Structure 1
Amino acid sequence: MRPIVYAHRGASADLPEHTRAAYVQALLDGADGVECDVHLSRDGHLVLHHDAQLGRTSDGRGPVSARTLAELRRLDWTSWKGVRIPPGHGAPGRQLLTLPELLDLLRGAGRPVGLAVETKHPSPFGHRLEEEVLGLLMREGWDPETGRLDDVTVSLMSFHPDAVRHFLETVPARHVCQLVGTTTRRTVGDSLRVGRTAAAVLHAGMRFVVPPALPVISAGLVDLVGPGLDLVRARPDLVRQWRAEGRVLRVWTVDTARDVDLCRALGVQQLTTNRPADVLRWVRAPSGAPLGVPAGGPAAVTGRSRCASTAVG
């Protein structure tokens, strides 16, 4: 059986991450599921966005949490990528998505599709973020036991162990994923809210600290484990251990044929990728078959940029 393929923030190698266009393209590419990150806006809407700050993927500045949804909608969410939004992928003013809007898009796909929702921390709203996600899903008719909402199968995840524990109070372990990765300068800086120089110094002393997520996994609290690719490469023994324990592994972010081969060799069941079309082609190839990309590189197929962020989560 081939691995299940989740589109990381949509088809985010080709189109601006977390936009309507990126998710429409992911569905057209045939992705088995999509992944999204959520923050709360100042007025309590669940907005799809990775970073706590607006600057990387819009023309806005400051935290997502400081803006109302109406204010966020007025921002430009696509120009930073330097690509053309294809016809049928949504108007420029409709690219920012809320979680309810993504659910509507997936429910209209006409086929079963997975949705992996990650709550981002630290959040000024604390666990209200998880409560808002759960409340929305319940109002829409989601069944926590099956994970189903019509043809959409929803799982919930976070790097933050307390957020994972909060989900587990309501949701069975088979639908909750503890994300885990090695520390990077960026994650240290974001978490501790320090500059690049301070983050580099702190990171040097933290690289070998046991990630706080590991105790949650070791205690058997979750059935889904989401290791980053760096961790998979560095600790294949951990991956084998988790597989032997019966865990389902959802590895991020798998964007090359070589890494697809590595994950398949380790028995990884789910792959999260910025490049769903390419990864689907690779996982459908017979095991051991040579894998590659079209002449001219992956971007030769569409002429679009392949510069999506592979930052944590």
Structure 2
Amino acid sequence: MRDGLLSRGRRLAGTLLVLSVLGTCRADAASWISNPRPRASQQRVAPWVIAHRGASADFPESTMLAFREAIRAGADAIELDCQTTSDGKLVVLHDDLLDRTTDGRGPVSALSWAQVERLDAGRWKHARFAGERVPTLEQVVRLAMTENVGLVIEAKTPYILDPGLAGRILELLDHEGATSRTILQSFDHRPLTEIHARRPEVKLGPLVDAGIDDVRAMLAAAGTWAYLPHYGFMLPDRVRAAHRLGYHIAVWTVDRPEHMLAMTAAGVDGIMTNRAGTLRRLLDGLRLPRRPWPR
């Protein structure tokens, strides 16, 4: 997901907002942080552990290895990005370009699947991961079905370049019987709005870097099931406001333990993280029961 959307200044602002949850400006949040076993009237269940590109802090992101390790570490769901090769194969890759996470060059959309499947997608992380490949969406969906975990899938290619991508992802999910366990997400909300008009039962999640009060109309138009903001916007009162509107809330991308605690204290429903094992251990230490992933 596009963490780069936030400038350094906005990242700092987001961090300061989260730190305010940990500080004294919100007495209720501060009491949650200081007492690692929330009272029954506050946080009743743990937020979902959503593995951002798999266990991507320690393994090559968006590979089958990273997804398997995230599941082994206790993730409730795996988050991934979907793009298309030149011959229409749905593949799991975050960047538009192959350069950063494979030994290929240029846009993934310029290569056929036969070319993409030969690329090394692990060596960039460490030599011991050499031989990892770019997976297909079908492979990852089948892994999730076998392991009984959820999916959070972003239609990555810009809508203006491929307006049908989200629809093709949905067709594959339907075919694999995985639609009900999936949240479809996008920073471009047009494909979500179109899917909602045809398939209102599909769980949709607009990705936003704004507070709930700034995006209410868009969330309603997109048929929002899950509100997916950057974690810096989620003070407890904003979580309550989103819940009053009927939305689930999953924040991105939270890797520091103190921020994980803050988001848990604030009452979010899910936390996307590159460190699924760290978050699971933290939540287990709080002795909060696991929140069932929707099926």
**1:59 positional shift:** 1.7
Residue 144 (structure 2) pairs with residue 106 (structure 1):
yes
Which residue is 2:116 aligned to?
A: 72
Distance change in 2, residues 1:226/1:104 (3 Å)? same
**1:244 positional shift:** 2.7
**1:135 positional shift:** 1.5
Checking the alignment, whether the CA contact within 8 Å between 1:177 and 1:226 is kept in structure 2 is yes
Alignment partners' CA distance in 2, 1:119 and 1:266:
28
Which residue is 1:311 aligned to?
A: none
Checking the alignment, whether the CA contact within 8 Å between 1:42 and 1:69 is kept in structure 2 is yes
Residue 185 (structure 2) pairs with residue 157 (structure 1):
yes
Matched residue SS, 1:80: coil
Checking the alignment, whether the CA contact within 8 Å between 1:15 and 1:83 is kept in structure 2 is no
Q: What TM-score, normalized by structure 1, do the two folds share?
A: 0.71
**1:9 positional shift:** 0.5
Checking the alignment, whether the CA contact within 8 Å between 1:116 and 1:157 is kept in structure 2 is yes
Q: Which runs of 5+ in 1 are unaligned?
A: 86-91, 148-152, 183-207, 289-313
AA of the residue aligned to 1:131: G
Which residue is 1:245 aligned to?
A: 245
Aligned residues: 243
Alignment partners' CA distance in 2, 1:84 and 1:257:
28
Matched residue SS, 1:50: coil
Q: Percent identity?
A: 35
Selected match of 1:5 from 49, 59, 68: 49
AA of the residue aligned to 2:193: R
Residue 266 (structure 2) pairs with residue 230 (structure 1):
no
AA of the residue aligned to 1:122: P
Root mean square deviation, CA, Å: 2.4
Distance change in 2, residues 1:121/1:220 (3 Å)? closer
Alignment partners' CA distance in 2, 1:51 and 1:167:
24
Alignment partners' CA distance in 2, 1:220 and 1:108:
30
Aligned counterparts, 1:1-313, within 5 A: 1-82=45-126, 84-85=128-129, 92-93=130-131, 95-109=133-147, 112-122=148-158, 125-142=161-178, 144=179, 147=180, 153-172=181-200, 175-181=203-209, 215-217=217-219, 221-232=223-234, 237-286=237-286
AA of the residue aligned to 1:75: L
Alignment partners' CA distance in 2, 1:79 and 1:93:
7
Distance change in 2, residues 1:63/1:250 (3 Å)? same
Matched residue SS, 2:286: coil
Alignment partners' CA distance in 2, 1:261 and 1:171:
36
Alignment partners' CA distance in 2, 1:261 and 1:287:
13
Deviation by residue 1:260-310 (Cα, 9 ceiling, x = unmatched) = 11111211011111011110011222289xxxxxxxxxxxxxxxxxxxxxx
Distance change in 2, residues 1:83/1:263 (3 Å)? farther
Q: What TM-score, normalized by structure 2, do the two folds share?
A: 0.75
Which residue is 1:201 aligned to?
A: none
